[in-house]
A and B are shown apart, each in its own frame.
Chain A
Amino acid sequence: MAAENGGTSGVVDNSVIVPLGRREGPTGTALFHALGGGLGHYLGLAPALARKGPLHGLRALGIQPGEEPDRTIAAMARRYAALLRELPQPPRLLVGWSFGGLLAWETGQLLADTTGFGPDVVLIDSSSRDWDAHDPVLRGIRERVLWETVAALGPESLEPVRRTLDAHIGARLAHRITPARHRSRTLLLTCTRGDDPEQAAAWGTLIPDLTVRSVDADHFGVFSRTTLPVVTGHLDDFINHSAGATT
């Protein structure tokens, strides 16, 4: 059990990093949990990424009984960076949807602090704007995430998921996104019917080398059967254009 929940020290809890695919390949990838801590949204994306190399998922601390969720994004990023550094083949690609994109970005910056060149990052409809606790959109997202996660994990998960989700929302409300400190490649996939039409411009002020592509979907529909091939196509293009990468 980890002790780090917003502070600066603690042991590494390796139960939050989940091997999803063990194939050998040049592109190891890490998928980052969304609000509420689950990885179920990546059901269709995981097989495509697993064919390119080792695939790991980072689920949130807090969704299992007895766990205490991290309460700052800095604490989550430190935890995930420490776990990814320990892998035999550290990932060259970090992917996150929504809140997970923000975690991928912040974790990538920490990883780059040790090497000077971070892994490539893919942000999937991930808003960088500051959140307002009174925004009705946020309340709607909270309700949807809560019930979707409980539906996926079972009713016994309601209380841990609620605590984890509220910890994530609190962390996001307090967080200001780190501008790029290192050279790395970043792909932003925006949903044409998402909640933040300004996200490409906003991320562009933080990330000089930003590639932007769009997907004709709403925020929660980006991994539907209709749009999944578009998402994987953009990822393939991005990965195939990485320096030295072959797929």
Chain B
Amino acid sequence: MTTHQIDRATISQAVRRIVVAESQLAAAPDAVREDEPLNGSVLRINSLSFVKLLVQVEDDLSVTLPDDLFVGHSFRTVADLVDVVEQGVAA
């Protein structure tokens, strides 16, 4: 569905930037590790955040992802999200 190839580092950076913003953290995206829990002492990502997240990833990466990319998935860490977005970009 995407129009160009994007590497995992770029996807990870975009996802971390969004989860940091959604968690209302002052931290830089690079300060969040990929094994950081999405709902823990650092990040607070709820169901509303997920609704926003796919739209924001599309905007940030200038890609079109499958509508159902997040449907039926459960995400524990930042890496889980990055993995699924990477699959969506490659689809």
Contacts and interface: CB of A to CB of B under 8 A. Distances in A.
A229 B68 CA distance: 9
Contacts of B28: none
Interface string B25-63: 000000000000001000000111011101100110000
Nearest to A42: B51
Interface in A165-200: none
Given A23-B59, A228-B67, A228-B68, A46 B51 contact: yes
A148 to B, nearest CB: 9
Contact of B51 (A23, A39, A153): A39
Contact of B71 (A22, A57, A223): A223
A154 B39 contact: yes
Contacts of B59: 21-23
Given A23-B59, A224-B72, A47 B67 contact: yes
With most chain A CB atoms within 10 A of its CB, the pick from B48, B54, B70 is B48
A233 B86 CA distance: 26
B64 interface: yes
B82 interface: no
A3 interface: no
Nearest to B65: A47
B55 A152 contact: no
A30 B35 CA distance: 34
A225 B68 contact: yes
A72 to B, nearest CB: 24
B71 A59 contact: no
B64 to A, nearest CB: 7
B81 to A, nearest CB: 13
With most chain A CB atoms within 10 A of its CB, the pick from B52, B54, B64, B69 is B52
Contacts of B54: 43, 46-47
A44 interface: yes
A18 interface: yes
B2 to A, nearest CB: 13
Interface string A221-239: 0011100110010000000
Given A21-B55, A44-B71, A225-B71, A152 B47 contact: yes
Contacts of B55: 20-21, 46-47, 50, 55
Contacts of A46: 51-52, 54-55
Give the top 5 A-B pairs by smallest Cβ distance, nearest first. Answer: A40-B47, A152-B47, A50-B55, A21-B55, A44-B71
Interface of B: 39, 46-48, 50-52, 54-55, 58-59, 64-65, 67-72
Given A39-B47, A45-B67, A225-B68, 9 more contacts: A19-B52, A21-B52, A38-B47, A42-B51, A43-B54, A43-B70, A44-B70, A46-B54, A47-B65
24 contacts: A18-B48, A20-B51, A20-B52, A21-B52, A23-B59, A38-B47, A39-B48, A43-B47, A44-B68, A46-B51, A46-B52, A46-B54, A46-B55, A47-B58, A47-B69, A57-B51, A154-B46, A224-B72, A225-B68, A225-B71, A225-B72, A228-B67, A229-B67, A232-B67
